[in-house]
Structure 1
Amino acid sequence: MVHLTTVNTPPHSGSTSGAEDSSATSLRQVQQQLKKVQLQLADHDDCYTTSVYGSRFANQDLPKSEMPESEMPKEVAYRMIKDELSLDGNPMLNLASFVTTYMVSEYLTNPITVVTFRANTPPQEEEAEKLMAESFSKNFIDYEEYPASADIQNRCVSMIGKLFHADVGAGEGVGAVGTSCVGSSEAIMLAVLAMKKRWKNKRQAEGKSTEHPNIVMSSAVQVCWEKAARYFEVEEKLVYCAPDRYVIDPKETVDLIDENTIGICAILGTTYTGEYEDVKAVNDLLIEKNLDVPIHVDAASGGFVAPFVVPDLEWDFRLKNVVSINVSGHKYGLVYPGVGWVVWRSAEFLPQELVFNINYLGADQASFTLNFSKGASQVIGQYYQLIRLGKKGYRAIMSNLTRTADYLSQSLEVLGFRIMSKRSGEGLPLVAFRLPEVPAGAEGEPGVRHYDEFALAHQLRVRGWVVPAYTMAPKTDDLKMLRVVVREDFSKSRCDALITDIKLCMGLLEQMDQDGVKRQQEYINKHHLTSSKSTHNHPKFRKEKHSLQGKTGKTHAIC
């Protein structure tokens, strides 16, 4: 059916009825009044052409230090920011970071599944990203408004706790407790706070001094441990590495303990070489010496690897003195950043005075975090991965990564590199390596190479690869090293491409003279974005001397 409507005759044309004439008169009066109103109209130049690059915005600097007065079309804002971000490295070629660059890839768990390929990325499951995107607007702290999201966090804590062999609660207030965090750094801060407070309470009950608390840890710890000790005024007692040992020595660790020791940090997968520290040996020595000192396991990277690759390795709550564990969901937990988890053996090890009961938006809730408002997306993403992959899926992925790391180790060894990391699942799926020793001269003089690991890292960067070079922890004879983190998207074919480029870069460096390499390195140190003169680095805080990097030259490794 066609619907018809009348065509109205303009008021000024033809004859009109009395009512129509009155209406027209009123309209003209309104129009006359409007002419007297002075409006502040936008400039006509605020429009733009259909081409972003044909608009005036393409010929102007993007605002950098102050908000602009006027608006910008959404298409222009998107394109200009995207262009700025194009100067970032390719996350898939960033072999420095443990952080997940994309989520579940079906070909790793089900090779025959048909999946959709996106430009420049491996196949991904849109369901994971869709779930997370749909939760961007949820403030996780609002338990009353989003009870299902809060329950999902509790499920994740329970699953992760059981993965670490935590006791299952038989009733309210019994069994392991834990919480989500924005990453392992926050989790470690919370664990240090809990250990310090528990130590302080015990000392006060005994009528003893609560001054000068200390914590025992490796000199190879990630920088967040140094931050926690400094921020919470805890002295660092360091177990130093050696040229042939890159983890703590259990006996030396226990020997450093005194009455002011709040706890011991043991690392399940060090940042530099990925090696697992011997948590069981430390635990057994504590029991043997009847020392009531808690162990916190920093399982930021290894917590989602060891249970699936070396399930019989005892490092978790199976050990009596392990009271808390942190793990990063955004590393081998396979979730986009940032989400981390911390779990305590039981509520006994989390002092009640650190937990706040907050009535927020209508619901009472227990809170032990450094942050308050945060999105629910990453927690939901973690739950998706845990139930989507299951133990079988995680086991398949971590086994593949371990095999790829072993293959890369063997290939680099053939090229003459010295491998510093463990193999066959005895450490994280990464490869730490350094240049081979230079043979002595014909008359016995020591061999000299005119380039080092940092020069090789730079040449690989020119090829697009981000392979970091580091100076190892103090007292290791200033060892330099390179590190490749094998993540889920690092396939064998990409591994072969890396090996080919390493050969090419070494050949190029061999052809350069010593002065050429030196001038290149000096130029990089002076002009690179991460140099001490970079605009990212405030002049007041350059060349700090309080951290291990400032004191010894150790590099704060990327994690």
Structure 2
Amino acid sequence: MLKHPSNHRAGRDALALDPRFGIEGLVIPRHTLPEDEVPPEAAYQIIHDELMLDGNARLNVATFVTTWMDPQADRLMAECADKNMIDKDEYPQTAELEMRCVSILSKLWNAPDATQATGCSTTGSSEAAMLAGLALKRRWQKRRRAAGAPADRPNLVMGINVQVCWEKFAAYWDVEMRLVPMEGDRLHLSAEEAVRHCDENTIGVVAVLGSTFDGSYEPVEEICRALDEYQQRTGIDVPVHVDGASGAFVAPFVDPDLVWDFRLPRVASINASGHKYGLVYPGVGWVVWRDPEALPEELIFWVNYLGDDMPTFALNFSRPGAQVVAQYYNFLRLGHAGYRRVQAYSREVATRLADRIAELGPFQLLTRGDELPVLAFQVDPRIDNFTVFDVSGALRERGWQVPAYRFPKNREDLSALRVVVRRGFTHDLADMLIDDLKRQLPRLEKQHAPQHDGATAGSFHH
């Protein structure tokens, strides 16, 4: 409640209100509802001031998520903040923009018949991935039951570098995860390992177009070719889902000759994050199937809601429409040429930054930003007095959020730093990052021993 403090001293659980708001001497609780109203300007200022302790989003090179949009997009999102995406009868034009986006993505990813574009927006790429996984499971179950075979032990094959949403999918829907560990210099899934883990219970293989660990593309075309040969040998047909959370908005524009999408008949579905390299603020993902047959009808629910009978096959029901509108704004505003310029510039910044980091001496590149605009690098193994975690901590002193993390099973010995270059991260900011690395390195090189080993570094967990 609001209290007159008299002898009360505001501490961690309460906040003394600034006298300039005209309610001198009142204390606001932090963890319970106040008894009385607080003036709107006071409530705003309290929260605004606390949020100043957050990091600067533009200096956060840990995140793949968009941190800058055109002011016009900001304005559109504010105008649509009250729109519920599920209410297609009340907001029919927002629903129309969603379907235009699905159609655009279907064409961009070379679906065989984009006039039958099949897909939807989601709250993020994780939900999109789960919908695609559900479709794979249901199609496998129908095939098995039609053949009179058991359908109670599904598995899904993927590299251990997949995003955590796939672990959630497997746990929530009782699917065995067949995680292919890293081995030596192979830091993601290979075609050979994908096939080796498949059997008659495999509902699909997940190929990642842009690993979050190092930004590298998995060889989707090679995986599909190997599965073609596997089907010829065994008769087992294993579809592929492409997790294009980041790469599906990069490859079409800067790697047009790379074959990874619906041009490969074995690719059944693709998910992507509109809020990563789709260039939209957080809160939108996309899933597209190659054709209507790839999405089982029983996963589509027809709901009579607010005056209309409409289909829905997302996991969430109510969700904001503003991000969908912003996605369509980007498509309209940038077009193919604009997206190509944005992504090509990000790659140019990333590769130049990688070259300059390599020139510094103490670091070795794992990737250099020539697939996703993402570079990963390690401290030279011969250096024993500082670690990547020390480097991350030193850069944080200058405001940079550069993640340091260990790689997973079979390569736990490998620790790296990662820089995600995205829209708004310029050559100028890259120069500033290099300058700060140079500024901090002499101190690190004088250390007698590492200060952080990963267990004691709290800056990032992959």
TM-score by length of 2: 0.92
For the 8 Å contact 1:401–1:488, the answer to whether it is kept is yes
Q: Is 1:248 equivalent to 2:248 in the alignment? A: no
User: 2:9 is matched with which residue?
Assistant: none
Of 213, 216, 227, 1:286 maps to: 227
Q: What's the offset of the Cα at 1:289?
A: 2.5
Gaps of 5+ in 2: 6-16
User: Do 1:327 and 1:341's aligned partners in 2 also have CA atoms closer than 8 Å?
Assistant: yes
CA contact (8 A) 1:275 1:422 kept: no
Secondary structure, aligned partner of 2:72:
helix
2:391 to 449, 452, 456: 456
| Partner of residue 434 from structure 1, selected from 378, 401, 415 | 378
Aligned counterpart in structure 1 of residue 316 of structure 2, from 371, 387, 399: 371
Q: Is the Cα contact below 8 Å between 1:272 and 1:472 reproduced in 2?
A: yes
Whether the 8 Å CA contact 1:243–1:477 is kept in 2: the answer is no
For residue 60 of structure 1, report the CA deviation from its aligned partner: 6.1
Partners of 2:150 and 2:444 lie apart in 1 by: 59
* Contact 2:161/2:408, CA 8 A, preserved across alignment: yes
The question of 1:86 aligning with 2:43 is answered no
SS in 2 for 1:420: strand
Choose from 420, 436, 443 the match for 1:485: 420
Deviation by residue 1:450-491 (Cα, 9 ceiling, x = unmatched):
221011101111110000001012112520000000011111
Match in the other structure for 1:71: 37
- 1:316 maps to which residue? 261
Secondary structure of residue in 2 paired with 1:303? helix
The RMSD of aligned alpha carbons is: 2.2
Q: Are 1:393 and 2:328 an aligned pair?
A: no
- The answer to whether the 8 Å contact 1:52/1:79 transfers is no
Who is 2:366 aligned against?
420
So what's the TM-score if we normalise by structure 1? 0.76
- The alpha carbon displacement at 1:524 in A equals 5.4
Q: 1:259 to 1:90 in 2, by over 3 A?
A: same
Residues 246 and 372, structure 2, Cα contact 8 Å, conserved in 1: yes
Which residue number corresponds to residue 120 of structure 1?
none
More strand, by proportion: 2
1:97 maps to what in 2?
A: 63
Query: Cα–Cα, structure 1 residues 346 and 372, in superposed 2: closer, same or farther, change >3 Å?
Result: same
Distance 1:273 1:58, change over 3 A: farther
Q: In the aligned structure 2, how far is the partner of 1:214 from the partner of 1:294?
A: 12
1:403 maps to 348
Residue type at the aligned position of 1:429: P
Residue pair 1:132, 1:377 contacting (<8 A) in 2 also: yes
Shift of 1:375: 1.4
Q: Distance in 2 between matches of 1:253 and 1:81?
A: 49
Residue 169 and residue 408 in structure 1: after superposition, are their counterparts in 2 closer, same or farther (change >3 A)? Answer: closer
Alignment length (residue pairs): 445
- The answer for the alignment partner of 1:119 in structure 2 is none
Q: Supply the AA of the counterpart residue of 1:435.
A: V
**5+ long unaligned stretches in structure 1:** 1-41, 46-50, 104-124, 439-447, 531-554
- Matching of residues 155-174 of structure 1 within 5 Å: 155-168=100-113
Matching residue within 114, 117, 120 for 1:176: 117
State the shift of 1:199 in Å: 0.7
Q: Which amino acid aligns with 1:421?
A: T
Q: Partner residue of 1:358?
A: 303
CA contact (8 A) 1:222 1:556 kept: no
Q: 1:208 to 1:57 in 2, by over 3 A?
A: farther
| CA distance 1:259–1:422, shift in 2 (3 Å) | farther
2: CA distance, partners of 1:452 / 1:329: 34
Go from structure 1 to structure 2 and tell me whether the alpha carbon gap of 1:60 and 1:300 turns closer, same or farther (over 3 Å shift): farther
Give the direction of change, closer, same or farther, for the CA distance of 1:217–1:58 in structure 2 (3 Å limit): farther
String of CA shifts for 1:142-165, please: whole Å, max 9, x gaps: 111111110000000000110000
Q: Which amino acid aligns with 1:436?
A: D
Q: How many Å apart are 1:340 and its aligned residue?
A: 0.3
Larger radius of gyration between Structure 1 and Structure 2: 1
